[in-house]
Structure 1
Amino acid sequence: MLRIRCAVWPVAGNVITSERGTCRFTCAPFSTEIRFSHVLPMASFLPLLDAHDNAILTVLSRIGPVIKPVPSTLDAQAELHNSYILVDSSASPNHDILISCLDRGAEKVIVSPAHASEVIGVVPPDRILLLLDVASASAVSDKTRSGVSGVLLKSPSLELDLISSISRFFSGSSIFVLSTSPTPPTSLAIQELRSVGAVPVLPTSQLTLGQSSSSQLNIADAFLAPLRSDRPDGLFPTVVSSYAQGGRTLGLVYSSRQSIVESILSGKGVYHSRRHGLWRKGETSGATQDVIRINLDCDTDSLEFSVIQNGAGFCHLNRPSCFGELNGLAALESTLKSRLDSAPEGSYTSRLFNDPDLLRSKIMEEADELCNAETREQVAFEAADLLYFTLTRCIAAGVSLVDIERNLDAKARKVSRRPGNAKARWTSNPTASAEPPPAVPAGVAPPDTSTAIRMRKYTASSLSPSERAQLLRRPVLKFDAMIPKVKPIVDYVRAQGDAALLDLTAKYDKAHLDSTVIFPPFAPETLQLNDAVRDAIDAAYANIRKFHEAQASADTLVVETMPGVVCSRFARPIARVGLYVPGGTAVLPSTALMLGIPAQVAGCHEIVLATPPRPDGSISPEVMYVAHLVGASAVLKAGGAQAIAALAYGTQTVPKVDKIFGPGNQWVTAAKMLVQNDTDALVAIDMPAGPSEVLVIADQTSNPAHVAADLLSQAEHGIDSQVVLVAVDLPESILSTVESQVDAQAHALERVDIVRESVSKSIIVHVADIDAALEFSNDYAPEHLILHIKDAADALSCVQNAGSVFVGPFSPESCGDYASGTNHTLPTNGYARQYSGVNTLSFQKHITSQELTADGLKALGPVVATLADCEGLQAHANAVRIRLASI
């Protein structure tokens, strides 16, 4: 069992025991799991190279890594794979050499405490071992312990109690023990060391391929020392896997101590048949095996042989595996290799092998199609094509999957990293800086002015039902994937309040604050705007307020359902509301208006506006001015999931709210959905919100420039914005003009990089008539629907699903976004089928009441009593009958 003390957050009560190799710990706000790599390495011992013997090194390569001294220089032939690099404790480490060793395949470096501080922070902890004398182990600092993955102890003797104690001190780390005695440990000593979680280190000068003696230990004897079979026959279950096919299982066999010894020493697959005894694989069939690696399992009672299988295959049925034929990439590789040798003349594969230009063109074509694929199914389809042509190129060049995997493993183990920028030929501006300009958000490629910005085209009448369904889909929030990311943040804020908010705001928004909330009256200097912006906000405020005041439910609804029975319904404001105003790539005072005004009109008692601060800790004056206009009771300087958590649960300074409104990214959306489902939070949300979207219906009466402008007005929101043009019997000449306008107007925008990404994923759908257009629109249920059609107002009666509709040539979506009066917080991702956009009623709740006279109860009471009796609820019936009896 392992024990670990949590050092992630400074809280108490965070120690918990664990099963081998895994530690679970719980502390506010996180519950998490750490898996320690190589806590008990899958090898019997670790060799230390102090005497060079090629035959011994060849054998050792089959059973695990070898400790080697750090080379003074690195030549191109230096073999560092499967090795640990030991730094001479008397000399300061050469960082360039160490990094190069790790980049060239070395698994770990071993340094002394004197030099640990020079390496920790430069090299990842899982790549460092600490070299210690057993007497000085307890003097290691916590920082050093946390910066390494294990220790190599030098000890004059193998005192198990002392080693076990040190192992507990370095809980969760790999423990290796090098005895300074001139004689090797016995097999029993190796077994005992493994039992306390330690692995012996044996100098190669103490190892031999011959018989064990007092001065040397046979390599196979050392390997076998900790093995213990739980079978009556003493055999070890052995999984045989294909090194050449990425670890695919070939079969299950059994090994004896004799067969293991012969395999280790010969490098051939040798096993034990329960019927015939020693079994040298392929001795009669020719299907021999070259052993690459022999691994112990975690309980040292079974083995894995990683082999290169020769001949027809492993299985006696002449198949590659006892578990069936090859599939996936391994099967494709096998097929391509056979086709390289014997592809029929004129076959497509033969053409690919014999025409490098065709193969190169297909690889580039499929790579482009993969980059433009949108749905999960499309990505899988295009990736499969690309892998086919890529592997064809590899087979033609004599490159196998094993070669590819070796390179992947080598690259994964590199410590030094290149920036990873695209080469100049793949960017639009070869002379530009290697880094993207600061204004371009992460994930957006540099502009490619040489390529037109185009939408993808489809014809509705030729689509199959499944293809049509694909066009209607959006990339929606994967709730299950986001919750594990969001929940720790929400829990942290819930537990630590303002302290967590300050910490997370510094981390994510790079703003170091002294306080999280601004309360009114707001300082005049935070509201300073230029006159034009102030006047525009005032005009928008007036229009939006006028429209939302008209929606307010002020009168009480009274209905006498039968004589003496009066039912009523009256509205009350939701007392405390939280309004989330996104930051990120744009300042959004319009969102503050759209959320704040209906809350103000509805009469909400507390309006808490949350928005991410700027790096200097301030809030944009435009948003602050709106907060002042709508009477915000507090402004929370926080964004993301942490802001949602603060609104849902409250903190020392942030008031708890009853309902949260506002759009946001996937972190915000996931946090809103999470807190809504927490009964402890007792908070509601407005709606699930996703990326902005617009659907434009255009016929021959439309102005192509207006259509293009409306499409781009949504495309610039973000790279995940959804833009659809439904073309109603548009001639190719008009459609080409629309496309040209999209391209020309997009290149004139400052946010062209974002537009390029979103438009490339957007679609044009050809339909025959307006009925088909409205049918597609209702199925899509867009956030914004724009009607560039003849007699647009007449089409409103056919609109069933939309967040907001913009009617006719002079009604740009921008007006609704800012100042016409309607609300721009609207349902996305197809939720317009079920949800309304935010309105005044969203900030109100309705309470019903009823009042019965004696005569009313006489008439209604028997009905109620009968129904209560029918449901077996006698107390309900009694509440009526006891009154009737008293009348």
Structure 2
Amino acid sequence: MATFLPLITEENPTLFQALDRIGPIILDAQQSVPLPHPPQHSYLFVKPGTPVDVDALASWLDEGIEKVILPLSWAKECIGSIPSERLILLLEISGVSAVSENVRNGVSGLLLKTPSLDVNFISSISKFFAGSAIYVLSTVDSSPTPSNIRELKSIGATLVIPDLQLSLGPTSDAKINIGDAFLAPVISDRSDGLFPTVVSSQTGQSLGLVYSSRQSVKESIASGKGVYQSRKHGLWRKGETSGATQDVLRIRLDCDSDSLEFRVIQHGAGFCHLNRQSCFSEISGLPALESTLKSRLASAPEGSYTKRLFSDPELLKSKIMEEADELCQATTKEDVAFEAADLFYFALTKCIASGVRVVDIEKALDKKAKRVTRRPGNAKSQWTKPTTATPPPTSAPPVEKKVAKDGPIRMRTSDLSTTTPEERAQLLRRPVLRSDEMITKVKPIVDAVRQRGDAALLEFTAKFDRAQLASTVVFPPFAPETMRIDPEVQKAIDVAYANIYKFHAAQTTGEALVVETMPGVVCSRFARPIARVGLYVPGGTAILPSTALMLGIPAQVAGCKEIVLATPPRADGSISPEVMYVAHLVGASAILKAGGAQAVAAMAYGTETVPKVDKIFGPGNQWVTAAKMLVQNDTDALVSIDMPAGPSEVLVIADHTANPAFVAADLLSQAEHGVDSQVVLVAVALTPEHLGAIEKEVDDQANALSRVEIVRESISKSIIVKVATVEDAIAFSNDYAPEHLILHLENASQKVPSVENAGSVFVGPYTPESCGDYASGTNHTLPTNGYARQFSGVNTLSFQKHITSQEITAAGLGGLGPVVATLADCEGLQAHANAVRIRLRDTSKQ
């Protein structure tokens, strides 16, 4: 924010450069100084009597002039065609009453020429221009004082000082020192009177925090070099001994006028005494890419790809056009970001090769934003399709993200200590689930099954599952040959069944809750099973008898009368014998040989052969999830669902005690589920060597898996988050709310009470997530996509509903009845009150 505005009336390059370092400058439109390349944030002063020229005004604004100060004759002509925020009205005191409401509303500020700096008088005039910025130019020749600047600032006005009254020398009766004028409203809440000062790069990246004094600021303004105040050693001229000097571009005040920002060009090794650019962290993002490309331009090894790009303009041109085309085709948020990053890389390579810096691009953007005249913005002919061409499809097919088919399998890494709140929020985000789009896609399938029943179901099974069936439903008893499995597998399923049954049976006591709330008033709550449940067991890229166990056992324990298990058939029309065996164990009343939205619809509405259910459980792909969401909102279906579902996910927290092989194995156990699986490693103060060992284990173990291509895809989109403490790690996990949380921590069990959001927690080095997936006893159907904040995993109570009851004696009604009648009267519900009073009258007769 400007403390004052200098008005340049004559050439004085030294003074001009110093003033340009501290804020906007007012340039005389009749001088040659401002155009054609005005300094950034400059204002233009049009003297009264100058012939009105709206085109010239628009041209000045297009060239980068921030605002134009213009007389009333110009304002009347320009208002309506020039944005109000770019116009400041110039007025003599005597002309204030002549300003119409249209003119007041058409400008953003007022420059008042007055012989007096009477604050009360100026404040009264500012009320007439409510909402406008107020600038004051004294018409007397005497130099203003710092107190004049402070007083005007106190009423929200800014003093305009002609350059003839400004100096780089000491303040005198004739002239005020630029630094004294700039620092006039600045206050310090420190006992030493110093001002906290943030030092930033040209593009706004923080380099460090220092302190400034009035003396150091004055010297920086005058010399254009970074000069600060050391609290121990006095005046500190940055780089005087190290050579890491700074050129000061701009010195700014914060909104409270108690701290400063220096925008600088940093020379040498960097700002930090550790020979890096910033005291806070290594640079990242575009500044880091710019630094790397500048270094490669100077010394890229022969044969390197970047060297080829710098040496071969045609190759670089081709890559820019290729990446621009891929960005245009991208549809999902992740793909757009991925392709935009590629385009930025090649575009910035072109810029660096041409001597263009990121700050030059930002200046060009700022200048374009200031333009008041605009082109139509139509594309050039070579980039437009003829109008006779076939119109493009309404939705382009998703662009497959490019993942290298060779090379190390790596996760992306972020350091939580250096991320912004916005970047941290991005780390917590899952891929966008376009529920509305998917519901639109599945609705025709759901409607077809609802309307045509088995016929539609058979058609969709043939189309999507590639299985030709005569019937989609199998009822018990199930043929022994359909359940014939490997004896070892059968033994494992039996052990898993026993453990899961034991854990889920313990979740219900079967006893009713009975409470006497007041004498003679007994309230109770008792559980009843949901009569008919549908269990969706995915097929897809893996056989999942474990999901059949996890859904079937709590339904069996809860006492559900009908258990319909739906799973996609194999190409020959059969069901996995492992799933068939589990269906037999849990007492399934029917097996629906169908998958996807059609299976969900069949269970929701029922068909000629498929029993209708009251609640649908189970994970699935986006088609299944969308169908579940659709049917639960249809009152004709009268069906509920367990929870919203998304891709499988795991978050692993690892400290110095973590075994790299164990950690990698846990990450990969979820990564192999599908290409959209979400895998996060939160590394607690791990050394680079320890983290490198984990990354090497991920690569080595992944390449030994049969599903390595799926893992390669999911791991490339997964993240490592570096944190300083266990508390930071658990706080991040609670915000993320993972489906599976694994604690590879010292004294891991002591950290469990801090866990607030998670589907299921796996404690210590010998508790792999796989055990929960299969046989430890807990349920593996868990909330994903952050829903662990609101939902529990599937459990026995998920398959029950609770009914309340109350029984009141005549004496009990005598105590409770008047309370009820009073509340009913309050709500105007006479019949409610009457139902009580009629009984009270009856008991009074007894």
Q: Same fold (TM over 0.5)?
A: yes
> Matched residues in 1 for 2:325 and 2:754: separation?
42
Report the Cα distance in structure 1 between the residues aligned to 2:545 and 2:772, rounded to whole angstroms.
14
Match of 1:403 in 2: 382
The equivalent residue for 2:799 is: 843
> What residue is the counterpart of 2:731 in the other structure?
775
Going from structure 1 to structure 2, the CA distance change for 1:402 and 1:553 (only over 3 Å counts) comes to farther
AA at the equivalent of 1:713: S
Cross-structure match for 1:517: 473
Q: CA deviation at 1:411?
A: 10
Partner of 1:462: helix, strand, or coil?
coil
Q: Give per-residue Cα distances to partners, 1:209-234, cap 9 Å, x unaligned.
A: xxxxxxxxxxxxxxxxxxxxxxxxxx
| CA distance in 1: counterparts of 2:587 and 2:616, whole angstroms | 17
Report the counterpart of residue 196 of structure 1 in structure 2. Answer: none
Tell me which residue corresponds to 1:735: 691
Contact 2:323 2:339 in 1 (8 A): no
Instruction: Check whether the contact 1:363–1:389 (CA below 8 A) recurs between aligned residues.
Output: no
| Residue equivalent to 2:542 | 586
Residue 355 of structure 1 deviates from its aligned partner by: 3.9
Contact 2:316 2:346 in 1 (8 A): no
Aligned-partner Cα distance in 1 for 2:668–2:312: 46
**SS, match of residue 833 in structure 2:** helix
Query: What residue in structure 2 maps to residue 448 of structure 1?
Result: 405
**CA distance change for structure 1 residues 507 and 369 in 2, over 3 Å: closer, same or farther?**
closer
Q: Secondary structure at the match of 2:683?
A: strand
Verify the 8 A CA contact 2:320 2:343 in the aligned structure 1: no
* Partner residue, 2:190: none
Counterparts of 1:606-645 in structure 2, within 5 Å, are: 606-645=562-601
Q: Which residue of 2 aligns with 1:106?
A: none
Residue ranges of structure 1 left out of the alignment (5+ in a row): 1-316, 318-345, 393-399, 415-419, 421-441
C-alpha distance 838-807 of structure 1, shift in aligned 2 (>3 A): same
In the TM superposition, what is the alpha-carbon distance from 1:356 to its structure 2 partner? 4.2
Residue 516 of structure 1, CA deviation: 1.0
How do residues 43-62 of structure 1 correspond to structure 2 at under 5 angstroms? none
**Equivalent of 2:529, from 552, 563, 573?**
573
Q: 1:754 aligns with which of 672, 687, 710?
A: 710
Q: Distance in 1 between matches of 2:342 and 2:472?
A: 47
> Is 1:855 equivalent to 2:799 in the alignment?
no
Q: Is the 8 A contact 1:372 1:761 kept in 2?
A: no
Post-superposition shift, 1:391? 11
Distance 1:597 1:703, change over 3 A: same
Which of 552, 559, 580 is residue 515 of structure 2 equivalent to? 559
Cα distance, 1:482 vs. partner?
A: 1.1
1:753 shift after superposition: 0.4
Mapping of residues 174-213 of structure 1, within 5 Å:
none
Is the partner of 2:410 in helix, strand or coil? coil
- Corresponding residue for 1:880? 836
Q: For 1:444 and 1:593, locate their aligned partners in 2 and report how far apart those are by CA, in whole Å.
A: 35
Alpha-carbon displacement from aligned partner over 1:317-356 (angstroms, at most 9, x marks no partner)? 9xxxxxxxxxxxxxxxxxxxxxxxxxxxx9xxxx989844
Number of the residue aligned with 2:498: 542
Distance in 2 between residues matched to 1:403 and 1:546, nearest whole Å: 70
Aligned position for 2:22: none
Give deviations 1:744-774, integer Å, cap 9, x for gaps.
1000000000000100000000000000000
Q: Out of 654, 665, 669, which is 2:610 matched to?
A: 654
Distance 2:310 2:726 in 1: 47
Structure 2's unaligned 5+ residue stretches are 1-80, 82-296, 298-308, 352-378
Is 1:492 aligned with 2:448? yes
Distance in 2 separating the partners of 1:752 and 1:366: 31
User: For the residues of structure 2 that align with 1:650 and 1:703, how far apart are their CA atoms?
Assistant: 51
CA apart distance, 1:477: 2.1
How many angstroms apart in 1 are the aligned matches of 2:383 and 2:432? 34
Match of 1:722 among 657, 672, 678: 678
Question: What letter matches 2:662 in structure 1?
Answer: H
TM-superposed deviation, 1:708: 0.4
Q: Which residue of 2 aligns with 1:41?
A: none
Residues 363 and 389 of structure 1: CA distance in aligned 2, closer, same or farther (over 3 Å): farther
SS at match of 1:656: coil
> Percent identity at matched positions?
69
Quick one: which amino acid aligns to residue 833 of structure 1? Answer: R
Post-superposition CA distance 1:615-669 (Å, at most 9, x none): 1100010000000000000000000000000000000000000000000000000
| Separation in structure 1 between the aligned mates of residue 809 and residue 760 of structure 2, nearest angstrom | 46
Matched, 1:382 2:361: no
CA contact (8 A) 2:327 2:340 kept: no
Return the offset for 1:718. Answer: 0.3
Cα–Cα, structure 1 residues 703 and 667, in superposed 2: closer, same or farther, change >3 Å?
Answer: same
1:605 partnered with 2:564: no
The answer to whether the 8 A contact 2:316-2:350 is kept is no
Q: Is the 8 A contact 2:327 2:339 kept in 1?
A: no
| Equivalent in 745, 764, 767 of residue 808 of structure 1 | 764
Cα–Cα, structure 1 residues 866 and 377, in superposed 2: closer, same or farther, change >3 Å?
Answer: farther
Give the match's secondary structure for 1:566. Answer: strand
Aligned to 1:252: none
Task: Quote the offset at 1:555 in angstroms.
Answer: 0.6
Length-normalised TM-score, structure 2: 0.57
Determine the C-alpha separation between the residues in 1 that align with 2:669 and 2:387: 43
Matched, 1:531 2:487: yes
Query: SS where residue 417 of structure 2 aligns?
Result: helix
In structure 2, what residue type is equivalent to 1:572? R
Deviation at 1:375, TM superposition (A): 3.5
Deviation of 1:443 (Å):
6.2
Tell me which of 745, 748, 772 is aligned to 1:789: 745
Equivalenced residue count is 509
**1:391 to 1:495, Cα distance in 2 relative to 1, 3 A:** farther
| Residues 390 and 443 (structure 1), Cα distance of their counterparts in 2 relative to 1, 3 Å cut | same
Task: Encode CA deviations 1:273-318: one digit per residue, 9 max, x unaligned.
Answer: xxxxxxxxxxxxxxxxxxxxxxxxxxxxxxxxxxxxxxxxxxxx9x
- Paired residues for 1:662-677 under 5 Å: 662-677=618-633
Match in the other structure for 2:641: 685
The answer on whether the counterparts of 2:547 and 2:780 sit within 8 Å (CA) in structure 1 is yes
SS at match of 1:461: coil
Aligned partners of 1:365, 1:767: CA distance in 2, in Å? Answer: 34
The structural deviation recorded for 1:402 is: 3.4
Q: Is the 8 A contact 1:363 1:386 kept in 2?
A: no
Shift in CA distance, 671/778, structure 1 to aligned 2, threshold 3 Å: same
CA contact (8 A) 1:693 1:828 kept: yes
Q: 1:603 to 1:814 in 2, by over 3 A?
A: same
How far apart, CA to CA, are the structure 2 residues paired with 1:407 and 1:386? 32
Q: CA deviation at 1:476?
A: 3.7
Equivalent AA in structure 2 for residue 507 of structure 1: K
> 1:600 & 1:592 partners in 2: Cα distance?
12
Assess, with a 3 A threshold, how the Cα gap between structure 1 residues 624 and 446 changes in structure 2: closer, same or farther: farther
Name the CA shift for 1:475/1:873 in 2 (closer, same or farther; >3 Å): same
Give RMSD over aligned pairs: 3.3
Q: Distance in 2 between matches of 1:873 and 1:774?
A: 51
Distance 2:462 2:474 in 1: 17
Shift of 1:378: 2.6
- State the SS of the aligned residue for 1:545: helix
Conserved 8 A contact 2:403-2:716: no
2 CA distance for matches of 1:476 and 1:560?
A: 49
Q: What does residue 220 of structure 2 align with?
A: none
C-alpha separation in 1, matches of 2:404 and 2:467: 30
Cα distance in structure 1, aligned partners of 2:687 and 2:324: 31
Paired with 1:465 and 1:372, the residues of 2 have a C-alpha distance of: 26
Tell me: CA distance 1:369–1:411, structure 2 relative to 1, closer, same or farther (3 Å).
closer
Distance 2:507 2:420 in 1: 43
SS at match of 1:754: helix
1:246 corresponds in structure 2 to: none
